[in-house]
């Protein structure tokens, strides 16, 4: 099993989700994060003084999927989340040793 | 005359230049002068009632904010809904039956309940109705705070209707209606004085407070609050809401207390001004005392208790606001501060769960305020406000008549409200049920009862998931 | 005399002991008595206007909170800014031209527009100006809610100036100025009665409502709201703000409605008191009805609709608050509740996106309230408030004159406001543009238009990133 | 008579049908008529004082919200606590000594301080006390904003007591008491006019502002605010709180300014109405100007500066609200807007850290407002409000007498408040300490000083950790 | 060392924490997340229109533990967090290469 | 590639960020978390009753970096985030199998 962590634009979440809907994936977990990369922040002001907000809100989508599904999921996410502008985000893939479904105690692939 | 009035209306609205005095004809004969004086007097007193009632209605917002700020965010929509509906249903119910039970003066009326004026039939004293309604709404609103975070919404609707329509009006009749068996306004008041409750420490706050206590006991404590002999704190989710609510209540209290002169003419203005001062001093003393006590106890000053302390001081001065001298108002407020700090702790010991402190604020201080009249009222002010010269505060040498009468008022109210609300909550419990399910309590009443979160966005401050949460069905 | 007044001022301020009565000389001759009576009458009526106007100004805060609470957090700074500027620019513009167009009584004035009193020149009736200004600010503020979350800030500034300075004052002149061609205050009112709109269901709320409708249509729906025939809900970000806003509006409405007596003397106090009661009952009925309907429809009671229902009830009673009996006020409120629930759904069906419900609240209920006068006004109260005995509510047997006149008033207002605001929004669209870019709409107007988030901290509640966000340039 | 009054009370409360006029006996003799007139006049003026004072007290909520909204969430409980206690302690202290120092008229009183009326002894003018107290509370509350986010809570308690009890009352005595050496209400005022400060640009706002400036300097800037010559912005955590606070202040300002007529009879109503209009126009002009300036400077309109601009305009009109024509009020407001935008920047340059802008709003505009009287007061209105015909605004040809007197008033106030508050803060610093530790400042004052977070839930909007955070000890 | 990531119901957090109390585990890190799995969301409404909230709030508990402790920790979490209803959550286990305690610079097992 | 996860004090974030500024690192992702370790919570009160807040706010900094950069990054973070008091936090390092830049589709090291 692999964990796919995609850091995407908040407003792309619904598109990404739709793109993954038909896959038989078991679930996903979302976290609100703040990111900093090539993309720089916006300028805001407070009582006449401007300042840079250097971290922008992003959504981290985490999905643990079967090894066989990794490529397809990545491809779908890339297609759905891309705008071509800086700030589109990144995908990181790492190995997962075990998975357990708390409700049933099922393990690994059948737990996803 | 009516034509004239409508013309004057036209003139006032239409001609930007028209002087405001055109409404008054050139009265010169003694009779005309008298008519003008009567009109001005009525206008002035009515205006005061309307302004004061508007301030009291604003207190609904204050209660809503204090209660919302003091509960957890998962139950905020629910407590807001209840406060909103207290006003909405309250208006209907008090119009239909409540006002008549309180002040109806038909033949059927006795010293125990009024009759007549239902649906305002045959009664055109709208200013009085408006002023009395806002007090009724206040009494009803006290209960929702004590029963917050676990009471069924349908149960709430039933009990609020009965409190506004039946339980509260009866006590009003007893103590404030000229026919009431306990009132100071009868020709032959009890012990020559009757119960002195100027603006409602007993009539409004204790009534709400007793019902709140009975309700809090019958619905039981929130899950997880008292576990294995340990008392867990459930901090309220927003102190700014709580503080704003308390300030709004404080401001509204000038309508509540000073407005209870019911007029400004005939020397009442002087009483109203003094009432404003005693109200201010008691509020300040209550807040300062609770703050200092909490600081001494825990080494840190506690804003939540300070807020309760201010409200406690306000409730405590409500009965005696016209008959206590300023120094006595400060005494009343200081004692109120103690009552808050120890009263909150006492409820914890008794395992009674009152999320917002309605019982210490409204019940305990409502009782204390009513007793304070019997202890601290000055001779001169009892005469000035009630025309009573035979008895005044026991501690100032005024004998026991007043104090004993106050005790009777407290006791009568306690018996009636505890019985009536006990039966009411008992019936509700046996039929539609009083309490939500455990699952609902865990998840919060907002989603289960109303399908609506108070802050539906992820962080309360920015919503990356907004585009999703709105997928329609 | 002036010296005397200043001395009395000094005495009042300086001497804590000075009695408040020193301002009045010892008037004994009939003329002096008359002068005192006139002074008191003017003082009383002016005071009422000032107090009522202050309450109405407070409604600006109510609108700001309701609109802020009902939008998503990324657009909160923007909607707050608009509400703040409605009051700021409104004051300038109404002072410069609006008041003159509404009530100017110079030769050039006609039944269709006023003239004179621009910049208050030659007019010292400041109480009237103050009272009329706060109504103008209300009309302007209605529009921003319906166009929230996607309208350019510069476009907003242009339209708000024109609504306060031109579109609203014209209708005021028609219906409220003594010269207006539709007014009830002419010597020869249309159909012997003129349009009866006591506090502005049509003059204020429908005007704002029509402009809101035209604006909402012309700016288009928010991105993602209507997709593939599906209607997506965008829940407002904070219900406590919404509830507080509604309570503030409810409280302010007593200034709005009862204050529209424009005085207290000459029997007006009685009208003001009745107005306060009908206002209360309609608000309660509107809220209760919307709540129950939503409960029936979805099995869960909807606080957002309940809030809209209260406001709908208030708008619906605004025209007839002085001529409807209490029971009729409840009828008006109940119908208002239905209008809210079905009106909100209707707009969705028509794919008109009105984030806060300005159209159902202000336009639909503004129309309903104006019609309700023609249907339900009682004979006695039409006489009492307007001195009209020839016609009253159609359902009470008062004939068609009143009802038809109300229809004419509604239609005339519709034609003018739709045309004028249509042209206004059209020109804005063609020049500076009406709508922000898609990118701006996605990210929120707060950052793009104002460089300022409403809740700049990460979680809205605690900011671990605070030290960073403040790196200066 | 007293019996009659109490009977009328009974009648009013008891009999729903009783007419409101029963309080007035059938006065027919000239003396009785005169008595009725005197009673009505006193009632009317007292009512105005009570209503106005209630509005001013509401400003405490406004200050609390603006200050809370403009600081970071980790210090919100602390700033709320301070605002709550300003009112609580203020009431005690002003009752005990402040009022006597300001208006006490005992033999010992001089032109420099009052004496007598301590604890209201021998003084029953409660309306005046109530009105004066709410002004005192306002002055005290200004300081907490400028010293927010780093001042020790115990230090705060000490300074607020001294400002309310000593520093503020002295200036009040000088300028508003009939004996004060600078007052316009003496028989022989300085330069034939005395300092003209109708509602307190200097007496209230500059006093608070000077103390705020001294305090902000002596406590030092917040950690991280000025680093290596760079100025870091610390955005406030909630703009909705800030906006609501400003609206509440704006509304309360009608009590503050118009209420400063201290009555309605004897032609004062006319002044009050004009005051309401100039107040409105200056507020609007201040807000609009600050908004436009910020837009020009940064390309984006800045809501935080707009809010400061409105408050600046209100402070600037406070002194001259009765003697400036409406156009001049707009000028005062526009200048106030400039002062806000450049004043805020100036403080940054001077490395003085004032989190909420108290110095530009209250001090700079307090000075400007006092000078504006000397520059722009009209001849007619100086006569109308003060009975002075010898001097008026310098720019309108009224000579230098008024302007010079205003300068003296400003200077005397500056010297006294800077000295007194400098000594006060110096002693506090040397004894209990003025500033919290660095660790406390980092973590926020809420947890360290009060053990209470303003938004204790994780996200401010929903609390998955709630079950944990409440584990009792 | 292994990282145990458990996604659980918010109201089970206190139970899970209590269940782990007696283990000599060094610490844990919690994140509020939104999850989507077999469990579907709740229906909410806004001004008369209902909608599905498809992501539900969950708590992610992260603990890095010695290899030897992994099984016990998992077992405890499963027991404590289970209700048997859908939505109980999942546990994912993955390998951690290094651990450093910032305060002392201690490394790996002794840093936990 | 390795993922470096550092759990640090919120007020150390700006220092940590500054310490990493000159490295050619590609980006970082931040999450607000609540942590529980050797450090115990603070005591708060509510209406006269005190309670322990057992979880304290921390920031989790995630950076995926080239293998060669790992040591330097860790060293910099440790130096910047250390105060020597309990609660300074921990750093965990784990392996990342793949990285993809959504905007360009670049993979692995060049995607960082
Ligand atoms: N090396 C990294 N480690 C962790 N997160 C990263 C890294 N690089 C980028 N990110 C995350 O990805 C987001 C998008 O990165 P950015 O460089 O702006 O994207 P793009 O390359 O598409 O312009 C950042 O905001 C950050 O949250
Ligand atoms: N494959 C997955 N990858 C990441 N997170 C997952 C995955 N499957 C489930 N989750 C997380 O676990 C939570 C519970 O999943 P769910 O399927 O509802 O549990 P159960 O199987 O017990 O009914 C989800 O809300 C989601 O946060
Ligand atoms: N074994 C662990 N697994 C996951 N997170 C941990 C672990 N140990 C510590 N943490 C995180 O690190 C933070 C700091 O831990 P703590 O033990 O207080 O640090 P220190 O050892 O420097 O005193 C904790 O709040 C928690 O978030």
Are E34 and B442 within 8 A, CB to CB? no
Q: What does the alpha-carbon distance between residue D212 and residue D357 come to, in Å, rounded to a whole number? A: 10
pLDDT value at residue D314: 98
Q: List, in sequence order, every beta strand (DSSP E) within D145-268.
A: 226-227, 230-231
Both tokens assigned to C335: 């119908």
Both tokens assigned to B199: 């603006």
Ligand 2: distance of its center to the CA of B275 in Å?
A: 62
Q: What does the alpha-carbon distance between residue D8 and residue C338 come to, in Å, rounded to a whole number? A: 44
Q: In this predicted model, what pLDDT tens digit does every residue of E85-108 receive, in sequence order?
A: 888 999 999 999 999 999 999 998
pLDDT value at residue E24: 62
**Which 3 state secondary structure label does DSSP give B389?**
coil
**Is the predicted pLDDT of residue B53 greater than 60, yes or no?**
yes
Ligand 1: distance of its center to the CA of B24 in Å?
A: 77
- Chains within contact range of chain C (3+ C-beta pairs < 8 Å): A, B, D, E, F
C409 or C11, higher pLDDT: C409
pLDDT value at residue F24: 61
pLDDT value at residue A55: 80
Task: State which ligand 2 atom lies nearest to the alpha carbon of A62.
Answer: 4
243-272 in D: which are within 8 Å (CB) of C? 243-244, 246-248, 250-251, 254-255, 258, 261-270, 272
Q: What does the alpha-carbon distance between residue C334 and residue B91 come to, in Å, rounded to a whole number? A: 13
Task: State which ligand 3 atom lies nearest to the alpha carbon of E3.
Answer: 3
Are C298 and E50 within 8 A, CB to CB? yes
Which chain D residues are closer than 8 Å to F45 by Cβ? Answer: 450-452
Which chain B residues are closer than 8 Å to C176 by Cβ? Answer: 13-14
Task: State which ligand 3 atom lies nearest to the alpha carbon of F37.
Answer: 17
* Cα nearest neighbour of D66 on chain B: B240
Cross-chain CB nearest to B305 (options F47, F50, F51): F47
E39 lines ligand 2 (CB under 6 A): yes
Question: Which residue in E17, E95, E103, E106 has the most chain F C-beta atoms within 10 A of its own C-beta, making it the best mutation to test that interface?
Answer: E103
Ligand 3: distance of its center to the CA of D104 in Å?
A: 64
**From the CA of E105, which ligand is nearest?**
3
> How far is residue B165 from each of residues B90, B142, B328, B464, D17, measured CA to CA in Å?
8, 15, 35, 46, 20
Ligand 1: distance of its center to the CA of A8 in Å?
A: 9
**Which 3 state secondary structure label does DSSP give C7?**
helix
The helix (H) or strand (E) run that includes residue F46 is strand F42-46
Asked if residue A21 lies in contact with residue A73, where contact means CB atoms within 8 angstroms, the answer is no
**Is the predicted pLDDT of residue B465 greater than 50, yes or no?**
no
The CA-based dihedral angle spanning residues C15, C16, C19, C21, taken in that order and rounded to the nearest 10 degrees: 70
Q: In 3D, which of C380, C355, C330, C450 has the Cα closest to residue C143?
A: C355
Q: In this predicted model, what pLDDT tens digit does every residue of C279-333 receive, in sequence order?
A: 999 999 999 999 999 999 989 999 999 999 999 999 999 999 999 999 999 999 9
The CA-based dihedral angle spanning residues B27, B33, B38, B44, taken in that order and rounded to the nearest 10 degrees: 70
**Is the predicted pLDDT of residue C273 greater than 70, yes or no?**
yes
Question: pLDDT in tens for each of the 473 residues of chain D?
Answer: 223 333 334 334 433 333 333 344 454 688 899 999 999 999 999 999 999 999 999 999 999 999 999 999 999 999 999 999 999 999 999 999 999 999 999 888 899 999 999 999 999 999 999 999 999 999 989 999 999 999 999 999 999 999 999 999 999 999 999 999 999 999 999 999 999 999 999 999 999 999 999 999 999 999 999 998 899 999 999 999 999 999 999 999 999 999 999 999 999 999 999 999 999 999 999 999 999 999 999 899 999 999 999 999 999 999 999 999 999 999 999 999 999 999 999 999 999 999 999 999 999 999 999 999 999 999 999 999 999 999 999 999 999 999 999 999 999 999 999 999 999 999 999 999 999 999 899 889 999 999 999 988 754 333 444 433 333 22
**From the CA of E29, which ligand is nearest?**
3
pLDDT value at residue C19: 34
Cross-chain CB nearest to E49 (options C231, C300, C308): C231
Distance from CA of B47 to the nearest CA of C (A): 7
Asked if residue C466 lies in contact with residue C472, where contact means CB atoms within 8 angstroms, the answer is no
pLDDT value at residue B34: 92
Task: State which ligand 1 atom lies nearest to the alpha carbon of A7.
Answer: 12
Confidence category of residue E23, pLDDT binned at 50, 70, 90: confident
Distance from CA of E68 to the nearest CA of C (A): 35
Cross-chain CB nearest to A51 (options C442, C458, C470): C470
Q: Domain B53-435: which topology? A: Ammonium transporter fold (1.10.3430)
E5 lines ligand 2 (CB under 6 A): no
**Which 3 state secondary structure label does DSSP give D211?**
helix
Q: Report the mean per-residue pLDDT for chain E.
A: 89
Asked if residue B22 lies in contact with residue B15, where contact means CB atoms within 8 angstroms, the answer is no
Where do we find the tokens 């509304």?
D251
Asked if residue B378 lies in contact with residue B393, where contact means CB atoms within 8 angstroms, the answer is yes
A62 lines ligand 2 (CB under 6 A): yes
Q: In 3D, which of A25, D261, D457 has the Cα closest to residue C12?
A: D261
Q: What is the ipTM of this complex?
A: 0.94
Ligand 3: distance of its center to the CA of F71 in Å?
A: 20
> Residue of the nearest CA to atom 27 in ligand 2?
E35
> Residue of the nearest CA to atom 8 in ligand 2?
A27
Residue of E4, E90, E94 to test ligand 2 pocket, by largest number of atoms within 8 Å of CB: E90
**From the CA of F9, which ligand is nearest?**
3
Cα dihedral across residues D59, D62, D66, D71: positive or negative: positive
Q: What does the alpha-carbon distance between residue C241 and residue B241 come to, in Å, rounded to a whole number? A: 10
Asked if residue D289 lies in contact with residue D333, where contact means CB atoms within 8 angstroms, the answer is yes
The residue-averaged pLDDT of B27-38 equals 85
pLDDT value at residue A42: 81
Q: In this predicted model, what pLDDT tens digit does every residue of F44-96 receive, in sequence order?
A: 899 989 888 878 888 999 999 999 999 999 999 999 999 998 889 999 999 99
By DSSP bridging, strand A49-53 and strand B230-231 are unpaired
Confidence category of residue A23, pLDDT binned at 50, 70, 90: confident
Angle at C333 between CA C328 and CA C339, to 5 degrees: 130
Does the predicted model carry a pTM greater than 0.80? yes
E81 lines ligand 3 (CB under 6 A): no
Q: Domain F2-111: which topology? A: Alpha-Beta Plaits (3.30.70)
Ligand 1: distance of its center to the CA of F76 in Å?
A: 20
Q: What does the alpha-carbon distance between residue B377 and residue B383 come to, in Å, rounded to a whole number? A: 10
Interface membership of D6 toward B (CB under 8 Å):
yes
**Is the predicted pLDDT of residue A4 greater than 70, yes or no?**
yes
Q: In this predicted model, what pLDDT tens digit does every residue of F1-35 receive, in sequence order?
A: 999 999 999 888 888 988 988 776 678 999 988 88
Q: Report the mean per-residue pLDDT for chain C.
A: 91
pLDDT value at residue C320: 98
Ligand 3: distance of its center to the CA of A30 in Å?
A: 23
Domain ranges of chain F: 2-111
**From the CA of F58, which ligand is nearest?**
3
Ligand 1: distance of its center to the CA of B36 in Å?
A: 80
Task: State which ligand 2 atom lies nearest to the alpha carbon of E34.
Answer: 27
Q: In this predicted model, what pLDDT tens digit does every residue of B84-96 receive, in sequence order?
A: 999 999 999 999 9
Asked if residue D128 lies in contact with residue D102, where contact means CB atoms within 8 angstroms, the answer is no
**Is the predicted pLDDT of residue C30 greater than 50, yes or no?**
yes
Cross-chain CB nearest to E2 (options A3, A27, A97): A97
Q: Residue C81, CB half-sphere, CA atoms under 13 Å: how many?
A: 33
**Which 3 state secondary structure label does DSSP give B399?**
coil
pLDDT value at residue B5: 33
pLDDT value at residue C398: 97
> Percent of chain B, pLDDT > 70?
91
Cα dihedral across residues B292, B297, B301, B307: positive or negative: negative
Interface membership of D304 toward A (CB under 8 Å):
yes
11-50 in F: which are within 8 Å (CB) of B? 44-50
> Residue of the nearest CA to atom 23 in ligand 2?
E86
Which chain D residues are closer than 8 Å to B70 by Cβ? Answer: none
Question: Which residue in B243, B261, B443 has the most chain D C-beta atoms within 10 A of its own C-beta, making it the best mutation to test that interface?
Answer: B243
Angle at C319 between CA E47 and CA C356, to 5 degrees: 20
**Is the predicted pLDDT of residue C9 greater than 70, yes or no?**
no
pLDDT value at residue D11: 38
* Cα nearest neighbour of B99 on chain D: D16
pLDDT value at residue D28: 67
Which chain F residues are closer than 8 Å to C460 by Cβ? Answer: none
**Is the predicted pLDDT of residue B456 greater than 80, yes or no?**
yes
Both tokens assigned to C274: 């009745």
The residue-averaged pLDDT of B363-383 equals 98
Distance from CA of A57 to the nearest CA of B (A): 8
Where do we find the tokens 């692939």?
A109
Asked if residue C457 lies in contact with residue C73, where contact means CB atoms within 8 angstroms, the answer is no
Least confident of A85-94, B38-47, C62-71, E34-43: E34-43
**Is the predicted pLDDT of residue C5 greater than 50, yes or no?**
no
Both tokens assigned to B190: 């009890």
**Is the predicted pLDDT of residue C7 greater than 70, yes or no?**
no
Neighbours of C191 (CB within 10 A): 18
Q: Which residues line ligand 1 at a C-beta cut-off of 6 Å? A: A 7, 35-39, 58, 86-90; F 26-29, 62-64, 101-103, 112
Q: Kindly give the residue spans of alpha helices, DSSP state H, lying in B225-378.
A: 239-257, 268-298, 303-318, 326-349, 358, 365-376
pLDDT value at residue E54: 78
Neighbours of F19 (CB within 10 A): 18
Largest CA distance in chain A: 58
Interface membership of A109 toward E (CB under 8 Å):
no
pLDDT value at residue C28: 67
Least confident of B19-33, B152-166, C375-389: B19-33
Q: In this predicted model, what pLDDT tens digit does every residue of E32-41 receive, in sequence order?
A: 888 887 776 7
Which chain D residues are closer than 8 Å to A50 by Cβ? Answer: 233, 298
Are C458 and F10 within 8 A, CB to CB? no
């Amino acid at each position: 099993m692999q964990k796919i962590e995609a850091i995407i634009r908040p407003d792309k979440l619904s598109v990404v989700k739709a793109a993954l809907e038909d896959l038989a994936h078991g679930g996903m977990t979302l976290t609100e994060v703040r990111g900093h990369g090539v993309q720089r922040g916006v300028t805001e002001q407070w009582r006449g003084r401007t300042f840079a907000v250097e971290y922008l809100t992003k959504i981290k989508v985490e999905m643990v999927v079967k090894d066989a599904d990794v490529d397809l999921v990545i491809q779908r996410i890339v297609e759905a989340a891309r705008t071509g502008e800086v700030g589109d985000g990144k995908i990181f893939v790492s190995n997962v040793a075990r998975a357990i479904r708390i409700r049933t105690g099922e393990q690994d692939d059948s737990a996803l | 005359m009516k034509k004239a009035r409508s013309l004057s209306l036209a003139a006032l609205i239409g001609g930007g230049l028209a002087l405001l005095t055109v409404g008054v004809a050139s009265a010169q004969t003694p009779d005309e002068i008298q008519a003008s004086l009567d009109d001005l007097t009525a206008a002035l007193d009515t205006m005061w009632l309307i302004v004061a009632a508007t301030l009291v209605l604003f207190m609904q917002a204050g209660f809503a904010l204090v209660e919302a700020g003091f509960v957890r965010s998962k139950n905020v929509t629910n407590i807001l809904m209840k406060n909103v509906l207290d006003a909405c249903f309250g208006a209907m119910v008090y119009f239909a039956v409540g006002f008549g039970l309180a002040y109806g003066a038909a033949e059927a009326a006795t010293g125990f309940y009024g009759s007549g004026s239902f649906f305002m039939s045959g009664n055109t004293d709208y200013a009085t109705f408006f002023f009395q309604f806002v007090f009724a709404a206040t009494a009803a609103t006290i209960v929702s705070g004590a029963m917050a975070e676990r009471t069924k919404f349908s149960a709430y609707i039933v009990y609020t209707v009965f409190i506004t329509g039946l339980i509260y009006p009866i006590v009003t009749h007893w103590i404030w209606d000229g026919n009431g068996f306990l009132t100071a306004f009868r020709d032959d008041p009890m012990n020559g004085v009757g119960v002195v409750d100027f603006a409602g420490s007993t009539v409004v706050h204790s009534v709400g407070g007793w019902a709140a206590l009975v309700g809090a006991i019958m619905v039981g404590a929130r899950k997880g609050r008292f576990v294995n002999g340990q008392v867990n704190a459930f901090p309220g989710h927003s102190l700014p809401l709580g503080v704003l609510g308390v300030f709004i209540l404080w401001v509204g209290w000038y309508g509540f207390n000073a407005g209870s002169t019911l007029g400004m003419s005939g020397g009442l203005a002087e009483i109203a001004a003094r009432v404003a001062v005693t109200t201010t001093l008691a509020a300040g003393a209550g807040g300062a005392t609770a703050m200092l006590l909490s600081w001494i106890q825990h080494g840190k000053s506690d804003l939540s208790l300070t807020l309760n302390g201010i409200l406690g001081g306000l409730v405590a001065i409500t009965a005696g606001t016209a008959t206590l001298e300023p120094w006595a108002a400060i005494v009343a407020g200081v004692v109120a501060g103690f009552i808050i700090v120890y009263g909150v702790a006492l409820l914890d010991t008794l395992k009674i769960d009152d999320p917002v402190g309605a019982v210490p604020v409204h019940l305990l201080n409502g009782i204390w305020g009513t007793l304070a009249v019997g202890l601290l009222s000055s001779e001169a002010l009892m005469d000035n406000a009630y025309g009573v010269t035979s008895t005044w505060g026991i501690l100032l040498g005024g004998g026991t008549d007043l104090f004993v009468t106050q005790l009777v008022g407290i006791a009568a109210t306690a018996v009636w409200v505890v019985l009536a609300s006990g039966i009411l909550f008992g019936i509700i419990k046996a039929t539609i049920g009083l309490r939500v399910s455990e699952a609902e309590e865990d998840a919060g009443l907002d989603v289960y009862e109303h399908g609506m979160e108070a802050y539906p966005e992820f962080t309360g401050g920015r919503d990356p998931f907004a585009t999703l949460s709105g997928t329609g069905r």
